[in-house]
Chain A
Amino acid sequence: AQKITQTQPGMFVQEKEAVTLDCTYDTSDPSYGLFWYKQPSSGEMIFLIYQGSYDQQNATEGRYSLNFQKARKSANLVISASQLGDSAMYFCAMRIPGAQKLVFGQGTRLTINP
Chain B
Amino acid sequence: DSGVTQTPKHLITATGQRVTLRCSPRSGDLSVYWYQQSLDQGLQFLIQYYNGEERAKGNILERFSAQQFPDLHSELNLSSLELGDSALYFCASSGGLAVPYEQYFGPGTRLTVT
Interface residues of A (CB under 8 A from B): 33, 35, 37, 43-47, 50, 52, 91, 93, 95, 97, 99-107
Contacts and interface: CB of A to CB of B under 8 A. Distances in A.
Interface of B: 2, 31, 33, 35, 42-43, 45, 48, 55-56, 58, 88, 90, 92, 97, 100-108, 110
Contacts of B31: 100
Given A103-B45, A104-B43, A35 B102 contact: yes
Contacts of A102: 33, 35, 43, 45, 92, 103
Nearest to B1: A44
A47 B2 contact: yes
B105 A47 contact: yes
A14 B31 CA distance: 40
Binding site secondary structure of chain B: strand
A104 B105 CA distance: 14
B42 A107 contact: yes
B49 to A, nearest CB: 10
Contacts of B102: 35, 47, 50
A101 B42 contact: no
A101 B108 contact: no
B105 A100 contact: no
A37 to B, nearest CB: 7
Contacts of A45: 90, 92, 105, 108
B66 to A, nearest CB: 14
Nearest to B58: A101
Given A35-B103, A95-B103, A104-B42, 14 more contacts: A33-B101, A35-B101, A37-B105, A43-B108, A45-B90, A45-B108, A46-B105, A93-B43, A100-B31, A100-B97, A101-B48, A102-B33, A102-B35, A102-B103
A100 B33 contact: yes
B108 A100 contact: no
A44 B33 CA distance: 15
Given A100-B56, A106-B42, A47 B101 contact: no
